[in-house]
């Protein structure tokens, strides 16, 4: 073995035989002469200058004094103990560096020779290899974790890897910037900052294109003190801090940058390691992001297919099957069906009307490679629903054995059904236009004039002309001579204002003129220049002639209204006049022009106005007419009565807009009725004269007897105070009784009030009995009254109702006395009874006279009809009574009851 081989073997840590002699002057390494105690006697070789202690300055230093503290332990003991061992010794250098050596010790003649070799480079290479191995393992771990994590946790896992990177290399701020495909700039995907370091970036921060200025072939360092001058764009990215950028490049170029803030890099990590580490982070991240985008894109496509009702299909030639996309199965209602199914089974889904055509086109696609494009309907069980239309499209891909037939089905039901409906509507519209009196036309704008370019088919049936006959020159000649100026003005207005509406006469082919309503609109281009006019002619001949007739009728109606003797007017629901004719103005002593704005309510009392308004409010579109008699108080004049008939005018919603009224003066008739009522009342008083005389004579007889008795006592001298007081009180009571009879006769005999007033019907019953009860009893007629157990109010005249009851009881009395003359044992009676319901009160007057001849019941209320002897009765009592009750809104009727006649006075309750 040579000396060189022995040295190499000791460097590898292998023990070998120690040569007895060594070269005197070594060419490399470090040789030391040691004594038996390990003191250094001599040092030779080129490495002597790298020791911290200069040999010769210190006489015979110990070997341990030259070693580092960690290697001094390896040199414990004496040289005899070190032989046959490989020694790793680290010496202190003069500048604080360490000299790493490996060697062995040999015995020589005078002591020991320590032979050492410099193994610093070997240790540095091993440490660098270990560092690279650790970097590789870390990069592999980060790449693996990014590849196996879920897409939902990808941002979180990537941030954890940045944190591990920051802690492993002591980087205060680290971030990864990715190329934004949308704006072609750079954006921070994720960043991590240590707790004691300021954050240089934010997740999602836009960096623009500033990173494009960096060299993308190797890591780039950015100095905080010089960056502003070297590269201001990179300096702005790191914000005046030291930085380190590492690019990642793929087939598309640089797509990512690893940003390290407040960091200049480590000497142990090479540029290659940084590139590999950045690739371990960026490559799986970009792959997962592309996977995520592909998945999102797939989800969007699937959602879009579901929304559009579409999906792909593919013919499989080996099995003659068709494969359908899941979305297409769902759209076809085949969720439970197989994705692959026989072709004939798929064709059975198609409507029979389209099945054969689709099958033929599929055959052409397979045999000839002819692209497939058709629209088909699905077979539906419910015939009432709209058909489902699908667009089927396909094409052939590849050649030979690699030939494929793929396509898609798209739901076009809405479009197809709309097209069918539009086609049907267009056909209906064409038929309607062709058969209607409307003519649609188009006029082209040429050199400042409008030339006919189109007429709808309805022109010929309407006018007899064709488009060829209605040229620009001929059309003006067809206009009525009196309307040509209007036609030319219509054209000028259309060109000037863009739209026009006019009416003129046009001659048809038979020579007759038609009134046409012309409505046109001018179309302009984007520069505002006229292009064409579109309009229509509508035959309004009948309407125009009808309007002329209406105008003439209105004139005749106006003359009729103005010359009519009746009072005619219109007024709003609040009684404000909007029109009144001359008779109404004359009656109200004003001019016709002064009537609009006046209110009818100013001539009505509060009760009359309230009743008038309520009657108007009861008008409906079904029952728009109401008639009533109203009483007016004109200034300086007596009361007037009008018979007033109203008719309501309503809108489409049934709201009353206006009232049209016709009235006539009924004052003279009303006064005649009042006079007749008053005459009948006085006649009744005359007929009651005997009873009234009895009513007055009765208290007079009582008073006379009282006076005779008092005078007798006074003549006998037996005049006691109590006795005289009792007689005087009796005389006073009879005087009051007679006075009440006289007062009631005076009240009953005077004229009734002008307007009706509310009153209790019991007052009329009480008043009539006060005048008749004593007289009836004096003649032997029993009167029974059932007093009403209720209080109601009716509207009318209490004295007139009293007159009605008196007439009924007087007629009953005469009939009863006549019967008693024939039958002396007959006991006559008259009964009064009251009853009511929610709307009416009824007063029943009944007697036991046997009733009225049924043949006379229908005539009983006729004027001047009576069953009494000539000269005894006037025949007006019941007729006047009937009119009184009817004027109060009630009804007077008679029937034959069990015992005799039963009269019923029915009045409405307020």
At residue 725, the 3 state secondary structure works out as helix
The more confidently predicted of residues 581 and 638 is: 581
User: Backbone phi, then psi, for 744, in 5-degree steps?
Assistant: -70, -35
**In this structure, what token pair is assigned to residue 256?**
């990512």
pLDDT digits (tens, 9 = 90+) for 251-264: 888 889 999 988 87
The more confidently predicted of residues 339 and 727 is: 339
- pLDDT score of 779: 82
At residue 894, the 3 state secondary structure works out as strand
Question: What secondary structure does DSSP assign to 109-140, as a single string?
Answer: SSSEEEEEEE-HHHHHHHHHHHHHHHHHHHHH
Span 816-830, average pLDDT: 88
**In this structure, what token pair is assigned to residue 410?**
């798209």
Question: What secondary structure does DSSP assign to 451-473, as a single string?
Answer: EEEEE-TTHHHHHS--TTTS-HH
**In this structure, what token pair is assigned to residue 531?**
């292009």
In a domain, 307, yes or no: no
Cβ atoms < 10 Å from Cβ of 508: 14
Interatomic CA distance for residues 406 and 416, integer angstroms: 24
- pLDDT score of 5: 42
What is the spatial order of strands in the sheet that 404-411 belongs to?
A: 340-342, 321-324, 310-316, 404-411, 389-397, 372-377
Structural contact between residues 641 and 674, judged by C-beta atoms closer than 8 angstroms = no
SS (H, E, C) 191-207: EEECCCCCCCCCCCCEE
| pLDDT cut 70: percent of the chain above it | 82
Question: In the chain, how many H helices and how many E strands?
Answer: 24, 34
**In this structure, what token pair is assigned to residue 893?**
């009727």
pLDDT digits (tens, 9 = 90+) for 120-136: 777 777 777 777 777 78
- pLDDT score of 817: 86
pLDDT digits (tens, 9 = 90+) for 406-458: 998 888 888 888 888 888 887 887 777 666 668 888 999 988 889 998 888 88
**In this structure, what token pair is assigned to residue 368?**
């000839």
**Does the pLDDT at position 500 exceed 90?**
yes
Q: Which residues are paired to 604 by β-bridges?
A: none
The more confidently predicted of residues 908 and 268 is: 908
Place of tokens 């750079």: 186
- pLDDT score of 218: 78
**Does the pLDDT at position 21 exceed 50?**
no
3-state helix, strand, coil in the chain (%, to 5): 45, 25, 30
Say which CATH number the domain at 367 has: 3.30.450.20
pLDDT digits (tens, 9 = 90+) for 308-339: 778 888 888 778 888 888 888 887 877 777 78
Interatomic CA distance for residues 553 and 541, integer angstroms: 18
Residues 167 and 280 occupy one common structural domain: yes
Residues 319 and 362 occupy one common structural domain: yes
Interatomic CA distance for residues 194 and 549, integer angstroms: 99
Of 40-54, 152-166, 793-807, the range with the lowest mean pLDDT is 40-54
**In this structure, what token pair is assigned to residue 801?**
């109702």
Which H/E stretch holds residue 519?
Answer: strand 513-524
Interatomic CA distance for residues 895 and 846, integer angstroms: 10
Burial (CB count <10 Å: 0-12, 13-18, 19+), residue 324? buried
- pLDDT score of 7: 40
Most confident of 25-39, 285-299, 305-319, 701-715: 285-299
Output the CA torsion 595→596→602→606 (10° steps).
130
Sequence-separated contacts (24+) of 631-639 with Cβ below 8 Å = 631/604, 631/605, 631/754, 631/755, 632/603, 632/604, 632/608, 633/603, 633/604, 633/605, 634/588, 634/589, 634/603, 638/667, 639/667, 639/754
- pLDDT score of 24: 47
Comparing CA positions, the residue from 477, 443, 435 lying closest to residue 459 is 435
Q: How confident is the model at residue 19 (pLDDT cuts 50, 70, 90)?
A: very low
- pLDDT score of 722: 73
In a domain, 189, yes or no: yes
- pLDDT score of 906: 92
Q: Which domain holds residue 628?
A: 564-665
Interatomic CA distance for residues 701 and 731, integer angstroms: 10
In a domain, 278, yes or no: yes
Span 746-770, average pLDDT: 71
Say which CATH number the domain at 292 has: 3.30.450.40
- pLDDT score of 697: 61
- pLDDT score of 10: 42
Residues 389 and 506 occupy one common structural domain: no
Which H/E stretch holds residue 428?
Answer: helix 413-435
Comparing CA positions, the residue from 276, 234, 278, 287 lying closest to residue 257 is 278
648 Cβ neighbours under 8 A, 6+ residues apart: 616, 619, 620, 621, 624, 625, 656, 658, 659
**Does the pLDDT at position 852 exceed 50?**
yes
In a domain, 132, yes or no: yes
- pLDDT score of 486: 92
Structural contact between residues 518 and 504, judged by C-beta atoms closer than 8 angstroms = yes
pLDDT digits (tens, 9 = 90+) for 619-640: 898 888 888 877 777 766 667 7
- pLDDT score of 533: 93
- pLDDT score of 15: 39
Which H/E stretch holds residue 880?
Answer: helix 877-887
Structural contact between residues 844 and 835, judged by C-beta atoms closer than 8 angstroms = yes
The more confidently predicted of residues 249 and 707 is: 249
Residues 223 and 325 occupy one common structural domain: no
Q: Which residues are paired to 376 by β-bridges?
A: 390
Residues 719 and 818 occupy one common structural domain: yes
Pick from 118, 145, 172: which residue ends a domain? Answer: 118
At residue 909, the 3 state secondary structure works out as strand
809 Cβ neighbours under 8 A, 6+ residues apart: 768, 772, 776, 783, 830, 845
Q: How confident is the model at residue 292 (pLDDT cuts 50, 70, 90)?
A: confident
- pLDDT score of 493: 92
Comparing CA positions, the residue from 170, 169, 174 lying closest to residue 158 is 174
Interatomic CA distance for residues 906 and 142, integer angstroms: 109
Pick from 79, 96, 118: which residue ends a domain? Answer: 118
pLDDT digits (tens, 9 = 90+) for 476-499: 889 999 999 999 999 999 999 999
Of 15-19, 356-360, 524-528, 745-749, the range with the lowest mean pLDDT is 15-19
**Does the pLDDT at position 718 exceed 60?**
yes
pLDDT digits (tens, 9 = 90+) for 360-389: 999 998 888 899 999 998 887 665 577 888
Residues 749 and 841 occupy one common structural domain: yes
Residues 396 and 500 occupy one common structural domain: no
Place of tokens 């007899």: 464
What is the spatial order of strands in the sheet that 30-34 belongs to?
A: 40-44, 30-34, 112-118, 98-107, 87-92
Residues 697 and 830 occupy one common structural domain: yes
Interatomic CA distance for residues 122 and 239, integer angstroms: 41
Structural contact between residues 905 and 892, judged by C-beta atoms closer than 8 angstroms = yes
**In this structure, what token pair is assigned to residue 814?**
């005469």
Span 223-236, average pLDDT: 62
In a domain, 426, yes or no: no
Interatomic CA distance for residues 325 and 302, integer angstroms: 10
**Does the pLDDT at position 78 exceed 70?**
yes
Structural contact between residues 247 and 214, judged by C-beta atoms closer than 8 angstroms = yes
In a domain, 301, yes or no: no
Structural contact between residues 499 and 518, judged by C-beta atoms closer than 8 angstroms = no
Residues 155 and 229 occupy one common structural domain: yes
In a domain, 554, yes or no: no
**In this structure, what token pair is assigned to residue 791?**
């209080």
129 Cβ neighbours under 8 A, 6+ residues apart: none
- pLDDT score of 554: 66
Chain centre to alpha carbon of residue 781: 81
The more confidently predicted of residues 1 and 586 is: 586
**Does the pLDDT at position 22 exceed 50?**
no
Pick from 620, 649, 665: which residue ends a domain? Answer: 665
**In this structure, what token pair is assigned to residue 641?**
């009565």
Residues 684 and 729 occupy one common structural domain: yes
**Ramachandran region of residue 34, left (φ > 0), alpha (ψ -120 to 50) or beta?**
beta
Chain centre to alpha carbon of residue 74: 93
Structural contact between residues 151 and 288, judged by C-beta atoms closer than 8 angstroms = yes
Which residue blocks in 716-848 are alpha helix, DSSP H?
721-749, 761-778, 798-822
Residues 336 and 245 occupy one common structural domain: no
Residues 277 and 317 occupy one common structural domain: no
Interatomic CA distance for residues 266 and 154, integer angstroms: 29
Chain centre to alpha carbon of residue 8: 95
Evaluate if pTM is beyond 0.85: no
Q: How confident is the model at residue 662 (pLDDT cuts 50, 70, 90)?
A: confident
Domain total for the chain? 6
Structural contact between residues 619 and 648, judged by C-beta atoms closer than 8 angstroms = yes
pLDDT digits (tens, 9 = 90+) for 23-41: 444 446 778 888 888 788 7
Question: What secondary structure does DSSP assign to 134-192, as a single string?
Answer: HHHHHHHHHHHHHHHS-STTHHHHHHHHHHHHHHHHT-SEEEEEEEETTTTEEEEEEEE
In angstroms, the Cα distances linking 171 to 265, 424, 860 are 9, 76, 127
Comparing CA positions, the residue from 400, 391, 367, 413 lying closest to residue 313 is 391
In a domain, 465, yes or no: yes
> What mean pLDDT value characterizes the chain?
79
* DSSP secondary structure letter of residue 603: G
**Does the pLDDT at position 14 exceed 60?**
no
**Does the pLDDT at position 738 exceed 80?**
no
User: Backbone phi, then psi, for 567, in 5-degree steps?
Assistant: -85, 115
- pLDDT score of 175: 92
Structural contact between residues 455 and 439, judged by C-beta atoms closer than 8 angstroms = yes
Comparing CA positions, the residue from 588, 595, 584, 539 lying closest to residue 562 is 584
């Amino acid at each position: 073995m040579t000396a060189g081989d022995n040295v190499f073997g000791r460097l590898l840590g292998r023990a070998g035989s120690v040569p007895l002699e060594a070269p005197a002057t070594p060419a490399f390494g470090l040789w030391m002469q040691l004594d038996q105690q390990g003191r250094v006697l001599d040092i030779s070789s080129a490495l002597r200058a790298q020791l911290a202690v200069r040999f010769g300055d210190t006489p015979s230093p110990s070997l341990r004094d030259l070693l580092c503290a960690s290697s001094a332990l390896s040199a414990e003991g004496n040289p005899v103990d070190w032989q046959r061992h490989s020694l790793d010794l680290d010496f202190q250098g003069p500048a604080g560096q360490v000299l790493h050596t490996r060697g062995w010790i040999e015995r020589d003649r005078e002591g020991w020779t320590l032979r050492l070799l410099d193994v610093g480079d070997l240790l540095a290479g091993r440490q660098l290899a270990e560092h690279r191995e650790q970097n590789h393992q870390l990069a592999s771990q980060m790449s693996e974790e990014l590849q196996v994590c879920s897409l939902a946790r990808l941002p979180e896992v990537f941030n954890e890897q940045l944190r591990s990177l920051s802690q492993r290399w002591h980087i205060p701020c680290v971030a990864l910037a990715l190329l934004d495909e949308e704006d072609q700039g750079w954006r921070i995907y994720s960043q991590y900052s240590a707790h004691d370091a300021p954050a240089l970036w934010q997740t999602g921060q836009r960096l623009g294109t500033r990173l494009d200025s960096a060299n993308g072939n190797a890591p780039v360092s950015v100095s905080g003190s010089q960056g502003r001058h070297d590269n201001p764009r990179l300096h702005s990215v790191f914000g005046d801090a030291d930085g380190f950028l590492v690019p990642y490049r793929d087939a598309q170029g640089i797509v990512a940058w690893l940003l390290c803030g407040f960091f200049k890099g480590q000497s142990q990590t090479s540029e290659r390691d940084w590139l590999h580490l950045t690739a371990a982070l960026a490559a799986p991240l970009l792959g997962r992001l592309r996977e995520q985008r592909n998945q999102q894109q797939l989800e969007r496509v699937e959602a879009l297919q579901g929304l559009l009702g579409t999906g792909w299909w593919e013919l499989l030639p080996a099995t003659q099957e068709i494969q359908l996309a899941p979305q297409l199965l769902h759209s076809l209602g085949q969720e439970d069906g197989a994705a692959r199914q026989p072709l004939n089974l798929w064709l059975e889904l198609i409507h029979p009307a389209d099945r054969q055509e689709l099958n033929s086109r599929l055959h052409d696609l397979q045999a000839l490679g002819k692209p497939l494009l058709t629209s088909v309907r699905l077979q539906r069980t419910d015939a009432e629903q709209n058909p489902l239309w699908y667009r089927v499209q396909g094409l052939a891909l590849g050649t030979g054995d690699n030939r494929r037939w793929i396509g898609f089905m798209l739901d076009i039901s809405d479009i197809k059904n709309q097209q069918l409906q539009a086609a049907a509507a267009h056909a209906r519209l064409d038929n309607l236009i062709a058969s209607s009196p409307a003519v649609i036309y188009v006029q082209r704008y040429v050199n400042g004039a409008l030339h006919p370019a189109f007429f709808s088919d309805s022109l010929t049936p309407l006018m007899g002309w064709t488009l060829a006959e209605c040229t620009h020159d001929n059309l003006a000649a067809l206009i009525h001579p009196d309307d040509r100026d209007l036609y030319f003005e219509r054209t000028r207005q259309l060109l000037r204002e863009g739209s026009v509406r006019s009416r003129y006469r046009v001659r048809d082919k038979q020579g007759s003129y038609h009134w046409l309503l012309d409505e046109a609109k001018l179309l302009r281009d984007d520069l505002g220049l006229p292009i064409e006019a579109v309009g229509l002619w509508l035959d309004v001949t009948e309407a125009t002639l009808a309007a002329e007739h209406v105008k003439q009728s209105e004139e005749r109606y106006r003359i009729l209204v103005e010359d009519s003797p009746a009072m005619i007017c219109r007024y709003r629901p609040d009684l404000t006049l909007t029109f009144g004719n001359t008779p109404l103005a004359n009656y109200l002593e004003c001019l016709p022009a002064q009537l609009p704005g006046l209110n009818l309510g100013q001539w009505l009392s509060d009760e009359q106005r309230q009743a008038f308004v309520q009657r108007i409010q009861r008008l409906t579109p079904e029952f728009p007419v109401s008639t009533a008699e109203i009483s007016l108080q004109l200034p300086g004049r007596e009361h007037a009565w009008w018979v007033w008939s109203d008719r309501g005018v309503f809108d489409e919603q049934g709201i009353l807009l206006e009232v049209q009224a016709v009235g006539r003066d009924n004052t003279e008739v009303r006064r005649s009725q009042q006079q007749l009522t008053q005459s009948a009342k006085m006649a009744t008083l005359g007929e009651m004269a005997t009873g009234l005389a009895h009513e007055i004579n009765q208290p007079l007889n009582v008073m006379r007897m009282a006076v005779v008795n008092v005078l007798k006592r006074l003549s006998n001298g037996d005049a006691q105070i109590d006795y005289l007081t009792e007689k005087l009180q009796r005389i006073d009571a009879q005087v009051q009784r007679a006075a009440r009879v006289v007062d009631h006769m005076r009240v009953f005999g005077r004229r009734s009030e002008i307007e009706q007033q509310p009153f209790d019907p019991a007052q009329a019953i009480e008043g009539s009995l006060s005048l008749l009860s004593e007289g009836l009893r004096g003649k032997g007629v029993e009167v029974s009254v059932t007093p009403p157990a209720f209080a109601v109010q009716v509207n009318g005249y209490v004295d007139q109702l009293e007159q009605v009851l008196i007439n009924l009881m007087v007629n009953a009395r005469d009939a009863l006395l006549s019967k008693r003359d024939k039958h002396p044992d007959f006991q006559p009676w008259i009964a009064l009874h009251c009853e009511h319901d929610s709307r009416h009160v009824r007063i029943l007057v009944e007697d036991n006279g046997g009733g009225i001849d049924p043949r006379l019941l229908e005539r009983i209320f006729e004027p001047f009809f009576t069953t009494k002897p000539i000269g005894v009765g006037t025949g007006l009592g019941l007729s006047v009574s009937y009119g009184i009750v009817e004027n109060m809104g009630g009804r007077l009727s008679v029937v034959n009851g069990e015992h005799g006649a039963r009269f019923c006075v029915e009045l409405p309750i307020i």
